[in-house]
Amino acid sequence: MGAEPLPGRVVALQANYCLVDLDGPCELGTDGSEPGRGGRLLCTRRTRLDKSGLQVCVGDRVTVASVDWRARRGSVVGLEPRHNLLQRPAVANVSQVVVVVALAEPGLDPLQLTRFLVTAEATGQPVQVVLSKADLLPAAEVEAWCRRLEGWGYATVAVSTHTGAGLAALRRQLGQPGIAVFCGPSGVGKSSLLNALAPDLELRVAAVSGRLRRGRHTTRHVELFPLAPGVLVADSPGFNTPALPSDPQTLAAAFPELLARLRASPCRFANCRHQGDPGCAMGGTWDRHGLYGRCLEEVEALAVVRSRGGQGRQGEGGMRQRGDRLEPLLNPQLRRSSRSTRRQALDGELSSPDRED
Ligand SMILES: Nc1nc2c(ncn2[C@@H]2O[C@H](COP(=O)(O)OP(=O)(O)OP(=O)(O)O)[C@@H](O)[C@H]2O)c(=O)[nH]1
Ligand SMILES: [Mg+2]
Ligand SMILES: [Zn+2]
């Protein structure tokens, strides 16, 4: 048993355990008598590491103690402060978020893509878009999507694991040291992309199904994989409806084209809804005007529910998503203090399974 706590990084969670890659080299054992040290350990994790209720998540820097090298087990005893957190999929200390959506099968839904981008922007880190399955659309349409997303303010690369198009550009984009997270709907080819970039991984992939050619939730857990020295990429389970922030200011801050315009010339009123109101610097002709409007309506509807004492969290108390619409639940949860509600919402987000449908 080791005594000194050892530093490492959480690369995956499994029930009440986590996999931790220890810093430093992995030493081989001496034929049978002395077990190897370093490398990957299966560690117990307490549900709450400290009084603030923080939970360990993938990407966290931790310290491990009580190591049994023979069984390759240990116990997470310390958690370093996070630089940032992607809420869903839950990954800490990300250095870029790569939102992957398919050009076809399943078809590209601009509202869904926008919701993924809003979640990604909340990390404060660079956000890239990957348009997958470029082999399924004519080149001119692929090019038009790329130009459109660049107009939203995003570096965009169209890729195909079938033809190999765009893979070299994506590899370059992922070249920086740190953690890049692949996130997006199920079936868009996130795991296929990782397999194309690092064939040794042999991640499970599965064909899309049904009329809408949707994915089948093949990837079940977030996991970090090494792509190059110092470069980690997280594969994650696809899901369909990323949550929106709770206030309109945060929402607006997640639209780069809106921010850029407002920096150049602010709207007349500080609380402008940017929906073409008088004195609005955005006017009503920008590409994501309608998409922003729909997100804003949802954020405002949730704020109303919250102010009436509902929980205001999608899929739970307050409102729920019904197809395209958001509708109030009949029996909102009993009122709780807003701080404890927020805390619980975060805990739920971190501990709930990544599958939603
Ligand atoms: N036509 C085409 N199909 C692709 C491409 N890349 C992946 N696919 C197919 O898309 C399907 C889904 O791929 P996955 O890699 O499992 O998708 P995923 O995003 O990881 O899905 P989840 O794990 O469920 O979130 C598989 O049948 C792949 O063969 C591509 O470039 N072109
Ligand atoms: Mg997958
Ligand atoms: Zn405005």
The DSSP string of 36-103 is: -BSSEEEEE--S--STT-----TT-EEEEEEEETTTTEEEEEEEPPPS-EETTTTEES-SEEEEEEES
CA distance 237 to 227: 19
Percent of the chain with pLDDT over 70: 83
CA dihedral 87, 249, 118, 156 (to 10 degrees): -140
Q: How distant, in Å, are the alpha carbons of 17, 23, 35, 244 from that of 61?
A: 15, 10, 25, 27
Nearest to 240 by CA among 109, 340, 140: 109
Nearest to 166 by CA among 201, 139, 194, 131: 131
Q: How far is CA 117 from the centre of its chain?
A: 9
CA distance 19 to 58: 9
Over range 150-166, report the average pLDDT: 98
How many angstroms is it from 273 CA to the middle of ligand 2?
A: 37
Over range 62-69, report the average pLDDT: 94
Q: How far is CA 171 from the centre of its chain?
A: 19
162 Cβ below 6 A of ligand 1? yes
**Tokens representing 164?**
């190999």
pLDDT attached to residue 341: 41
Map out the domains of the chain with their CATH numbers.
6-79 (2.40.50.140), 85-235 (3.40.50.300), 248-350 (no CATH)
pLDDT attached to residue 346: 38
CA distance 112 to 172: 26
pLDDT attached to residue 26: 81
CA distance 22 to 40: 6
CA distance 295 to 279: 21
**Tokens representing 73?**
């087990």
pLDDT attached to residue 34: 77
185 Cβ below 6 A of ligand 1? no
Average pLDDT, the chain: 86
Q: How far is CA 48 from the centre of its chain?
A: 22
**Does 295 or 316 have the greater pLDDT score?**
295
How many angstroms is it from 356 CA to the middle of ligand 2?
A: 15
pLDDT attached to residue 27: 80
Local confidence band at 28 (pLDDT 50, 70, 90 cut-offs): confident
Q: Whose structure tokens read 């994915």?
A: 215
Q: What is the pLDDT of residues 78-130, one digit of tens each?
A: 999 999 999 999 999 999 999 999 999 999 999 999 999 999 999 999 999 99
* Residue 235: Cβ within 10 Å count: 22
- Dump strand ranges (E) for 159-295: 178-183, 223-228, 231-235
How many angstroms is it from 216 CA to the middle of ligand 1?
A: 10
Going 194 to 228 to 142 to 112, the CA torsion angle's sign is positive
Compute the residue count for the chain: 357
Nearest to 222 by CA among 112, 47, 126, 88: 88
Local confidence band at 17 (pLDDT 50, 70, 90 cut-offs): very high
In angstroms, how far is the first alpha carbon of the chain from the final one?
Answer: 43
pLDDT attached to residue 37: 85
**Tokens representing 13?**
């969670």
CA distance 22 to 241: 35
Residue 258's contacts (CB-CB under 8 Å, 6 or more residues apart) are 252, 274, 282, 286, 288, 292
How many angstroms is it from 268 CA to the middle of ligand 3?
A: 7
73 Cβ below 6 A of ligand 1? no
Nearest to 63 by CA among 110, 5, 135, 20: 5
Element (H, E) at 319: strand 319-322
101 alpha carbon, closest ligand = 1
Nearest to 197 by CA among 232, 166, 228, 171: 171
Pick the residue whose CA is nearest to atom 10 on ligand 1.
Answer: 189
**Does 194 or 317 have the greater pLDDT score?**
194
How many angstroms is it from 342 CA to the middle of ligand 1?
A: 35
Nearest to 234 by CA among 46, 2, 63, 9: 9
Q: What is the pLDDT of residues 186-229, one digit of tens each?
A: 999 999 999 999 999 999 999 999 888 899 899 999 999 999 99
Local confidence band at 342 (pLDDT 50, 70, 90 cut-offs): very low
**Residue of 131, 194, 203, 205 to mutate, ligand 1, most atoms within 8 A of C-beta:** 205
**Tokens representing 257?**
């084209």
